[in-house]
Every structure is written in C-alpha cells, then in structure tokens.
Chain A
Amino acid sequence: MSTTTWGWLVLAFPLAGTILIGLGHKRLGRGPAGAIGTVAILLAFISAVNALISLQDHEREHRQLVSSLWDYAVTGSIDARLSILVDPLSVFMMLVITGVSTLIHLYSISYMKSDRGNARYFAYLNFFVFSMLVLVLAANFFLLIVGWAFVGAASYLLISFWYRRETATRAGIKAFVINVVGDVGLVLGTFFILRYSGTLDFLGTFHAVEQGAFDAHNGTLVAGCLLLLVGAFAKSAQIPFHTWLPDAMEGPTPVSSLIHAATMVTAGVYLISRMFPLFEAAPAAANVGAIVGAVTLFVAGTIALVQTDIKRVIAYSTMSQIGYMIMGVSAGAYAAGMFHLLTHAFFKALLFMAAGSIIGAMAGAQSLDKMSGFKRSMPFTFGCFVVGGLALSGVPPFSGFFSKDEILAFVGNRGDWFVALYVVGYIGAFLTGIYTWRMIFRAFFGRPVPEAVELEHGHIAHAEFPTNPANGEREDTEVGFPGPEHVIAEREWRMKVAMGLLAVGATILGVLQIPMVTEVITNFLEPTFEHSKYAHTHPSDGFVWFGMILGTVVALTGISIAYYIWVKKPGLSTALQTRFRAVHTFLFNKWYFDELIDLLVVRPWGAVGTWARTWFERVISDGLIVGGASGVVKAGSQAVRALQTGFLRYYAALLLFGGAAVVLYFLIAST
C-alpha cells in the first residue's frame, strides 16, 4: 500500500471507533467500548508505523506526499480539497499521537471502568484522536483549521465530561471560546497569506513564498503570521490565552494526560514548525513567538510553585514546557522542538497518570495539602512519579535533559537578544526543579495521611459521599462523577502497563538525540526542514557542553532546594509564605490573569448584552421605532374608531348621505 493510503488509514480507524462506539453506546458501555477504542487507536498506530516504513522507502527528496480525496470547497479564490500531506513531520506527529494515545486509552479502560458515561468517554476520546490526526495530516489551511477546531470541540466535550458539575461545564465553555478565538486568528491569518499566495495548499504556499510572492508585501505576511500565532497561543495555552488550561483539569485525569499534556496543547508547536517557511520570511512574527514562549515558561513556572491542586501544578508545568517548545521552534530549532515535544509527551503523560493514581488513592481529592506519605503504600506510582519528575526537571540521563538542553543551546547560539531567552530558559529550568519536586515531596514523603495508612492495610479510601474536588460541592451521583470505585495503578495491570511503558520512554528516549553522538530525529525530519535557513546552524561543541553542565547544575540545585524546604525543614514553606505574603498571593492568584481577562473582555460583553436586552430593546427598538410607528397608527385608528358605533342604520345613513354628497358634487361641478 502506498504511504498516503496508510495516512488515510490512520485517520480512518479512530473515526470508525468513534462512530461504532457512538452508535452502540447503549450496548457497549463498560467493557467493550474501551476495548474497541483502544484497538482502534492501536490500529492507527500500526498504520502510522507502516506509513513511516513506506515513507523511508522514498528518496529523500520525495518524502512529501499529498493525496486528495475530493474537492471540498473549490470556488472563487479558495481551493480547499480534502487532502492530506504525509511527510516526515506529519509522520512524526502521527507516531507520537497514536502511540501515546494507545497507552492512555489502555489506562482509561481501568480508570473509567466504574463511570456510567464509559461509552461516551471512549467515543469522545477516539474523536479527539481523529481530530488531532486531521490537524497534523492536513495538507491545506482549510483542513488544518477543521482539525484545529475539531480538537477544540473534543477538548470541550472531555473537559465538561462530568457535566453535572457546574465547574466542569464552565471550564469547558471557557476552553472552547478561547480556542474559537484562536480559530478566528487562524482564519484571519490564512486570509492574509492567501491574499498573495493564491492558494490554501501548504506546499503551494511555501512555493509561493520561495518565489517571492511576499517580497513586496512583507507587512501582510507578518500580520498573517502574527494571527497564526494567536491560533497557536490559544491552543498551546500561551500567555495571554492560557487561562483555560488550568481550568481544563476539570476533565478526567487521562484526558488531562492525553489532551492537555501530550497532544493537543502541542498543536501550536506543530503549527509553527509546519509554517516555518512563512515564519522565516517574517522574522518579526517569529520573534514575537519566541518571546511569548519565554515569558510563558517563566510565568507558568512561578505559578506552579504555589498551586496546591496536584493536577493544576502539572498543568502549569505543561504550559511552561510548551513555552520552551514554542520558543524553540520560533527561534528555528525545529528538530529540537519536536524532540522535546516527543519526550514531553512521554514524561508529562506519565506524571498525569501517576497523579491520577494518587487521586484514586485519595478518593478523588486533588489538593496537595491533604496528601502526604504515599511513598510506602504506592511504590509503583512513586517510581513513575520520580522518573517523570527527573525527566521533567532535566536531570541526565533522562530524556527531558537532552531535549530541553538542545532547544536552549540552539536559542543561545542565535546570539543577540536571544541570550536573554537563553537565561530565562535556565531560570525556568530551575523553577521546574523546585515545583516538580515540591509536588513529589509533599505527596510521597512525610507522615502518611489516613488514606495512605488505610492503603497500607490494603483498602482504598472511600469518601463518605463524593464531592467535587474543585469546590467541595456534593456530587450529583446519578451521572457526572467519576464513579463510586476508585482505582490505583498498583491494582490495575492496564494502568501499570501504560505507565510502565511511558516510564521506560521517559527514561531512555534521550538516546535518539545525544549531542555529538546520535541525531535520529534531526535526520528523520530533514526532508521537511531542509530549506530552512537554520538547517545548517549548529551550536559549537563547547557551547553544548556548557549548556549541559549548566542544565544539570540548575536542575539539581532546584531539586535540592525543594528537598530542603519540604523535607528537611517542613515548617519553612509556611514561614516563607508569611514572609512573602504579597508575592505568594500574587502567584497563588495566577498573576491575576483570569481577573484581567474578566475585566477586559468578559464583563464588557456581558454588560453590553444586559444593556441591549434591558434598555436598548425596550427604549429604542420597541419604544422609539416600533412605538413611534404603532403610536401613529393607534392615534389614527382611535379617531376612526369613534365613527364605528355599530348601529347599522347609522352606517346606512352615512352611506346614503355620502353617496348623495358625491352625486351633488359632480352635479355642481358639471354645471
């Protein structure tokens, strides 16, 4: 089979899974739905591997294959076809997405087994994978936007999966609306680019850029790229469009693991890499991307230091790590960015899964304040957390170390003001070490909490009645809460397999790209990026060594500080909090971004709505326009009504005399 056929198959399996589970949701609940979903994604993964193999059979120069099914909207100045582009970049993304998704589906079978929305869950999850694959396989802007929005919709559905929780539905609509803002940015950006490229097709656009279509209109290209960045920022939770991501933790934990860590949020990184010819032709826009990435990685790191909800800490960590990727690919480190995307998908998915396991042990509670001392009762989860934590904070030889340092080395090598970003990157790495290990030390070390003690005796804790971890509200148990039974990785082989495989990946994936030794990913992605102007810039060996040593030192310092504060001197963190109350409050309230957006965007529109409904509609529309018109009619009819007495003979007399008057008039007029 040809490469593109495998590409289409990759799309087909998850879609088939969605439809199958969706149609049979009544029969397939609980058992089979999860199995079907997992198998569908596994088949997609196998197809992706096949696509990889058959792509490698092509000559290096011919590794960009386009296949089109039918004309979607070809009219006027648009040429949107249903076409996919299979090239090393999309195959890479396909592999990451389907691979990690398979494991997360497997994990979900156990995690969601007591949920009454089981079938719905797997239908949504398969739909999400399908959407994400559409996004990465799209060969034109139109289909890209379709995938982009589908992913947003799937994310919405999964965030508000437990829809009886008002917190969940509110988080869902927030995520969706911010993502729609991103979609709009993408659409408008496409318009700018389409204006002079004349085609929606990626390869055609890149060709036009190469031919100098934008030479005389660089401003247009910059505007277009900036708008594309709005889309990328919204999806990848970069400042100022990031506020939806922490709230998105309302969704089931595997969802956070899949969508809000491993795949969807990296779409922005993919977008910038995919559009690299445009961004390289519009360096101003690329610089904005790099700066925003750096700002985000720092801000998110600081917020993660003080959050108490375990999932939110990981969410902010995700934001921060994606900040690295965005910064990297905006600066031209495409292969390094993709490499970090890959390793991050592994270790972050792993961390979320491990967090899910702890949450299970805590009977649904998510606050770090309530967790402590799980080390002995949950050794497997602890092990996974440690592996994930080491990879995240960039300790050699774990995978995160190599990928993060490669990005930073490249950025630093750009020189100029990029050095500032380089420094911010290492500050971020320092913060990463602290917040990651703060989480681990608080959850696993110290005195075991009652739940942990109970678990040591072999019982999983159960709350007296289930509550919403976000606001403590009592759950509506009919549907829309995670189910009465909680699961932990130690007891479920599926969760163990999924987490184990991810842990292995998080540990060893660094070998793909060891500086000066291997460069598998760079080589593999080369056909996509060969025309990049940064394709042949490499940091010097000395600089790389310097970076690696610096990274190790920074990460270990961070971890030691965390150890000192939260293990060595348990009272210290509270003391620090009181000492720097203002800073703590500021960070705890997430730099007040939510309030700011609320003040600047949400409230004005709400106020306009209320004003329109209560005042404008009544006074102007109903009062002035309608009231004026109907007022005239009413006054007129009032006058005429006086004549309508209802007396028949009165009418007859009127008629008679009226007729007589007319006749009389004509008689007089004629003489």
Chain B
Amino acid sequence: MTLSILIWLPLVVAVLGVILGGKIAPKLTVLGTLVTLGIAISFVVRFKSGEDGLQFVTNEAWISELGISYKLGVDGLNVVLILLAAFLFSLSAIFANLREWERPQLFYFWFGIAQTAVLGAFVAQDLILFVAFFDLMLIPFYFLTGIWGSGDRETRVRGTQKLVIYTLVGSLLMLVAAIATGVLAAEQHDTDITYSISALQQLPLSDGSQNWIFLCFAAAFLVKMPAFPLHGWLPDGYKAMPLPALGVFSGVLSKVAAYGFLRIVLPVFPDASVHFQELLLLIALGSILYGSVMAFSAQNVRMVVAFSSVAQMGFITLGIFALNEDGVQGALLQMVNHGLVTVPLFFIVGLLAARAGGSEEIRDLGGIAFRAPVLATLFLIVSLATLAMPGSANFAGEFLILLGVFKAKVAFAFFASIGVALAAVYALRAFIKAMHNRVNPGVDSREVTFRDLAVLIPSVVVILALALYPQFGLEKTETTAKETVAQVQAKTGQLTADKTSEEHQP
C-alpha cells in the first residue's frame, strides 16, 4: 500500500461526502478518518526502526521541466507524526459529529481536505510539494473558521482575516525561499534543478544565501506554530475557530511547522541553523515564558489552552534548536504529546462551556467536579499531562528537551525550567477554577455522556499508554534524529572545538 492512498483517501471521502449529501457525510467522514488511521497504523507497524533513510518511497516526476517531483516517504521524523495526525483527525471527526453543523457536507469536505493537506505535508519529500501541501492546509481553515466559527460574525471575520493574512505572508516567504533554494543550489553547484530534499542536502548553499533563506523559512514556521512575538493572530484566530477544527489546528498543524524545521531547515541549511541558533533559542524561550504568563493570567479557558500551546511549541522549538540528539528526540516526542493533550483539552473546553451556559470565561465556571467526577478525573489527567507531570510522556519529552538545551546552552535550560513551574500554575488554575471551589450559580453541572466519552476515553487511554511506554516513539525516531543533527553537529562540534582551542591558547 503506498503513501498516496494514505494522503488522498481523506480527500476522496470528502468528495464522496459532498456527493452523498449532508445526512451521510458526517458518519462517512468518521469512517474515512478511521480507515486512514488504520492505514497509518499499518505503516507504523511495517516501519523498520533501525534503518537509515526513507522507507515506502514514492517518487514520480511531477513537473519535470522545473525539477519538481511527487516524492513521498516515511522515516523516523514523520512516522509517529503521521500516526498522530491520523489519530487526532479521527478524534476531531468524532468530536465534530457530536453536534450539528449547517451544511454538514461542506464542513466535512473542508475537514477532509485539511487532513489530506496535513498528511501530505508530513510525507512530502520534495520542497515544492511540501510548500504546496503547507499552503493547502490554510484554505480549509479559512472556510471552517469563516463559516462555522464560534462567536458572532465580527469575531469570525476578524479571526479569519488575521489568521489568513498572517500565515499567508509566512507562506509566501516560504515559497520564495523554497524556489530560491532549488535555483541557487543548481546554480552554485552547476547541476540540474531539483527540489528533492535529500538531494538538496548534498548541495549545500553558500553561507549568505543560507542565511536569508533560513530566515524566510523560520518566519513561516514560527507564524504557524505560533511563536512569540509572531502570535498576533492567535487570540482572535483561536477564539473564532470551531472547536473540532481548533483541536486539529493546534494539535497537528502547529506540528507541521515544527516538523518543517527538522525536515528542511536543519538538514538543508546547517550553517544557518548554527548561525541563528541563539536567536531561535531566544524566540523559543520568549514563547515559553510569554505563553505561560499569558496562560495563567488569561480570563478564558480557551485562551488558557491556546497560550499553553504557545509555551509548549516554545519547548519544542527549544529542543529542535538545541541542535543535538537529545533535544531533537525530546522535541519529536513532545510534538506527539502536545498533540495528544490538545484535542481533549479543547473538547473539555467545549464541555465546560456547555455546562456554563455557553460561556468560556473562567469567572462563569466553578464547582463542576461534584456532579461530574468522571469529567473531573479525565480533565485532571489531561491537565497533569499538559503540565508535564513526571510520569507522563510529556515529562520524558521535556526532560530530553531540557537536557539537550542544557548540553548546548546551560543558561537557556535554567530559564526554560521557569516555564515548567509556570505550567503547573496555569494548568491547575484552569482546572481548579472550573472544577473546584463553590458552584457558580450559572453552572448546570452534569456528567459527561457516553458520546462525549467516545472522544475523551481514547485520547486519555493513548496519553496513559504513551506515559507508560514513551520508548515506543523514541525508538522509532532515534536513527533519523541522529542523522538529522549529524550535519549540524559537525558544525557545532567544530565551533566548540575552535572555541576551546582559543581558550587554551592564552
């Protein structure tokens, strides 16, 4: 079974849904996402952990005049992320099924396109193909937010506008950078033009061009994550997005950005990565601290989760730009972990709002736990995972990230660990204000239904399973993580060696 089936199946299902109409589309989409999940699982099962290089490669010429190929492949970097994406889309599809949407066939159509785009971006091994899928991701969310978003019309319009303009600017920069990469590489090495990532790795660019191209890519990815201070679209955008879409957006789409760093930036622009390491670490640190601070002062549960994502993505960036194996391994594990907690968290936000008369403001919540002990317990487990409680896989991820940074730049590890403590504050604050203390008069506390549990239980079970055995992810990613940083490490190793020799001279 080829990867093409995996990535195009959701699109086919989406089109079928439109044809068959609004009655069948929701169920069909759930079925489609589950089948996709099954295919993704089959790839993970067949994946050979210790092997170098890509597996299950599909490589067809696409626009051969421009050197663009339709190249797909799986390796340690994306194998777990594919599984994550398929799983989260299934969850979100079920989540979306729990309520009625206007013109459902269209809603699920865009939903399916989003899944195709995300999966495509994860398996694309050609720069232009990646950019195409990356940009395709934006379109469905434009419609999903604009048409089915939460809040009044004005909120939706503003949110959609900000989201689109922001990420579009980033995407355009990336498109320019991608084209420039191919053209310049061909020019500087006097070869045929190619956009295959593995080929580009063999054709290193000159320092000057690496630097500006790096910045373009970084801008695109950091906006998508989003990272401080490029998060301007986040408050409005997140407020406007419908919750099931928000779950996958925050859970998976932000991971595509982080994944982009690992897939493209580190291997293809190693010199620039080393050159800008401290800048990126600073941005990551800023995201961690700023996101945490915002999360614990936010007055709205959805915003707590939203800003906690900023902080978590900060940790992931921090791990990536530790530029060593520990950091990258931690970042990969943390991507999975963060994805796994986001969807249930946003789902719980929805459940809380349903109990508080539709309001997501913290002051309208309180005291829900007594009549909803199961909800409280599940919320607690997810909260503890979010704050990277040791024993959760999130902790294993954060541990590796911090260790990586500790080895690279000690000071950053110390400052980042403040974020760990702040995470405890914001996660528990939201939990306590919603579940504990006196019952808010406006709250109609009731237990979760079995339908709700269809979303919550699988995610919590997976969170717990991964907490018991994070090695599941780590062993798959190890070989590729090593390869990814090998080139960069050669540079940093050189740099530190230079420094020590300088130190020894006097």
* Chain B residue with Cβ nearest A150: B391
- Does A150 contact B229, Cβ atoms closer than 8 Å? no
Alpha-carbon distance A22/B378, docked complex (angstroms):
12
Alpha-carbon distance A124/B368, docked complex (angstroms):
19
Q: Given A150-B390, A180-B421, A187-B399, does the pair A476, B439 have CB atoms closer than 8 Å?
A: yes
- Does B436 contact A169, Cβ atoms closer than 8 Å? yes
B297 contacts which of A120, A142, A149, A609 (Cβ < 8 Å)?
A: A609
Alpha-carbon distance A629/B166, docked complex (angstroms):
9
- Does B296 contact A75, Cβ atoms closer than 8 Å? no
Alpha-carbon distance A194/B437, docked complex (angstroms):
42
Alpha-carbon distance A188/B414, docked complex (angstroms):
8
Q: Chain A contacts of B161 at CB under 8 A?
A: 630
Q: Chain B contacts of A164 at CB under 8 A?
A: 367, 370, 436-439
* Chain B residue with Cβ nearest A620: B229
- Does A610 contact B297, Cβ atoms closer than 8 Å? yes
Interface of B, secondary structure class, is helix
- Does A629 contact B169, Cβ atoms closer than 8 Å? yes
Is B135 interfacial (CB-CB < 8 Å)? Answer: no
Interface of A, secondary structure class, is helix
Interface set, chain A 558-579, CB cutoff 8 A to B: none
Q: Given A479-B370, A630-B165, does the pair A166, B438 have CB atoms closer than 8 Å?
A: yes
Is A55 interfacial (CB-CB < 8 Å)? Answer: no
Q: Chain A contacts of B400 at CB under 8 A?
A: 73, 75-76, 78
Q: Residues 55-75 of chain A: 1 if any B CB is under 8 Å from the residue's CB, otherwise 0?
A: 000000000000000111111
* Chain B residue with Cβ nearest A185: B417
- Does A75 contact B478, Cβ atoms closer than 8 Å? yes
Alpha-carbon distance A108/B324, docked complex (angstroms):
51
- Does B396 contact A80, Cβ atoms closer than 8 Å? yes
B293 contacts which of A142, A479, A612 (Cβ < 8 Å)?
A: A612
Q: Given A73-B474, A184-B420, A626-B232, does the pair A120, B432 have CB atoms closer than 8 Å?
A: no
- Does A626 contact B162, Cβ atoms closer than 8 Å? yes
Alpha-carbon distance A500/B481, docked complex (angstroms):
60
B294 contacts which of A153, A609, A629 (Cβ < 8 Å)?
A: A609
Interface set, chain A 607-626, CB cutoff 8 A to B: 608-610, 612-613, 617, 620-622, 625-626
- Does A77 contact B403, Cβ atoms closer than 8 Å? yes
- Does B229 contact A621, Cβ atoms closer than 8 Å? yes
A167 to chain B, nearest CB (A): 10
B349 to chain A, nearest CB (A): 19
Is A181 interfacial (CB-CB < 8 Å)? Answer: yes
- Does B290 contact A177, Cβ atoms closer than 8 Å? no
* Chain B residue with Cβ nearest A184: B417
Interface set, chain B 411-446, CB cutoff 8 A to A: 413-414, 417, 420-422, 424-425, 428-429, 432, 435-439
Chain A, interface residues (CB within 8 Å), range: 35 or more
Q: Chain A contacts of B471 at CB under 8 A?
A: 70-75
Q: Chain A contacts of B326 at CB under 8 A?
A: 75-78
Q: Chain A contacts of B469 at CB under 8 A?
A: 70, 72
- Does A617 contact B390, Cβ atoms closer than 8 Å? no
Q: Residues 190-217 of chain A: 1 if any B CB is under 8 Å from the residue's CB, otherwise 0?
A: 0100110000000000000000000000
Q: Given A169-B432, A633-B165, does the pair A76, B421 have CB atoms closer than 8 Å?
A: no
A24 to chain B, nearest CB (A): 12
A606 contacts which of B169, B297, B387 (Cβ < 8 Å)?
A: B297
Is A25 interfacial (CB-CB < 8 Å)? Answer: yes
A76 contacts which of B235, B293, B329, B377 (Cβ < 8 Å)?
A: B329
Q: Residues 161-183 of chain B: 1 if any A CB is under 8 Å from the residue's CB, otherwise 0?
A: 11001100100000000000000
A78 contacts which of B169, B233, B403 (Cβ < 8 Å)?
A: B403
Is A146 interfacial (CB-CB < 8 Å)? Answer: yes
- Does B421 contact A177, Cβ atoms closer than 8 Å? yes
Q: Chain A contacts of B406 at CB under 8 A?
A: 188, 191, 195
Q: Residues 348-367 of chain B: 1 if any A CB is under 8 Å from the residue's CB, otherwise 0?
A: 00000000000000000001
Q: Chain A contacts of B271 at CB under 8 A?
A: none
- Does B297 contact A25, Cβ atoms closer than 8 Å? no
Alpha-carbon distance A629/B167, docked complex (angstroms):
12
* Chain A residue with Cβ nearest B297: A609
B408 to chain A, nearest CB (A): 12
Alpha-carbon distance A73/B324, docked complex (angstroms):
17
Alpha-carbon distance A479/B367, docked complex (angstroms):
10
Q: Chain A contacts of B422 at CB under 8 A?
A: 605
- Does B162 contact A188, Cβ atoms closer than 8 Å? no
Is B157 interfacial (CB-CB < 8 Å)? Answer: no
* Chain A residue with Cβ nearest B405: A191
Is B266 interfacial (CB-CB < 8 Å)? Answer: no
Alpha-carbon distance A461/B323, docked complex (angstroms):
67
Is A176 interfacial (CB-CB < 8 Å)? Answer: yes
Is A434 interfacial (CB-CB < 8 Å)? Answer: no
B37 to chain A, nearest CB (A): 25
B255 to chain A, nearest CB (A): 19
Is B402 interfacial (CB-CB < 8 Å)? Answer: yes
Q: Given A148-B390, A612-B294, does the pair A160, B231 have CB atoms closer than 8 Å?
A: no
* Chain B residue with Cβ nearest A163: B436
B438 to chain A, nearest CB (A): 6
- Does B229 contact A180, Cβ atoms closer than 8 Å? no
Alpha-carbon distance A667/B438, docked complex (angstroms):
82
Q: Chain B contacts of A464 at CB under 8 A?
A: none
Is A506 interfacial (CB-CB < 8 Å)? Answer: no
- Does B438 contact A194, Cβ atoms closer than 8 Å? no
Alpha-carbon distance A153/B384, docked complex (angstroms):
9
B337 to chain A, nearest CB (A): 12
Q: Chain A contacts of B399 at CB under 8 A?
A: 73, 78, 142, 187
Q: Chain B contacts of A608 at CB under 8 A?
A: 293
A314 to chain B, nearest CB (A): 26
Alpha-carbon distance A187/B367, docked complex (angstroms):
34
Alpha-carbon distance A181/B425, docked complex (angstroms):
11
Is B186 interfacial (CB-CB < 8 Å)? Answer: no
Is A173 interfacial (CB-CB < 8 Å)? Answer: yes
B424 contacts which of A120, A176, A605 (Cβ < 8 Å)?
A: A176
Alpha-carbon distance A168/B420, docked complex (angstroms):
23
Is A250 interfacial (CB-CB < 8 Å)? Answer: no
Q: Chain B contacts of A479 at CB under 8 A?
A: 370
Is A145 interfacial (CB-CB < 8 Å)? Answer: yes
Q: Chain B contacts of A622 at CB under 8 A?
A: 232, 235
Q: Residues 122-161 of chain A: 1 if any B CB is under 8 Å from the residue's CB, otherwise 0?
A: 0000000000000000000010011011100100100010
Is B75 interfacial (CB-CB < 8 Å)? Answer: no
Q: Chain A contacts of B407 at CB under 8 A?
A: 77, 195
Is A478 interfacial (CB-CB < 8 Å)? Answer: yes
Q: Given A78-B399, A142-B399, does the pair A169, B437 have CB atoms closer than 8 Å?
A: yes
Is A247 interfacial (CB-CB < 8 Å)? Answer: no
- Does A181 contact B413, Cβ atoms closer than 8 Å? no
Alpha-carbon distance A268/B438, docked complex (angstroms):
35
B446 to chain A, nearest CB (A): 14
Alpha-carbon distance A180/B296, docked complex (angstroms):
16
- Does B384 contact A73, Cβ atoms closer than 8 Å? no
Is A183 interfacial (CB-CB < 8 Å)? Answer: yes
Alpha-carbon distance A626/B106, docked complex (angstroms):
31
B474 contacts which of A74, A77, A176, A605 (Cβ < 8 Å)?
A: A74
Q: Chain B contacts of A76 at CB under 8 A?
A: 324-326, 329, 400, 403-404, 478, 481
Interface set, chain B 168-210, CB cutoff 8 A to A: 169
Q: Residues 319-338 of chain B: 1 if any A CB is under 8 Å from the residue's CB, otherwise 0?
A: 00000111001000000000
Is B151 interfacial (CB-CB < 8 Å)? Answer: no
Is B373 interfacial (CB-CB < 8 Å)? Answer: yes
Q: What are 15 A-B interface contacts by the 8 Å CB criterion?
A: A75-B325, A76-B325, A76-B481, A78-B399, A120-B373, A148-B390, A150-B391, A153-B389, A184-B421, A187-B402, A188-B402, A191-B406, A605-B293, A613-B294, A613-B297
Q: Which 10 A-B pairs have the closest CB atoms?
A: A609-B297, A163-B436, A149-B390, A76-B326, A626-B232, A180-B424, A146-B391, A76-B325, A146-B390, A75-B474
16 new A-B contacts at CB < 8 Å, known A77-B326, A78-B403, A163-B437 = A72-B469, A73-B396, A73-B400, A73-B474, A149-B391, A149-B395, A164-B438, A169-B432, A194-B403, A476-B438, A609-B296, A612-B293, A613-B294, A617-B235, A621-B229, A622-B235
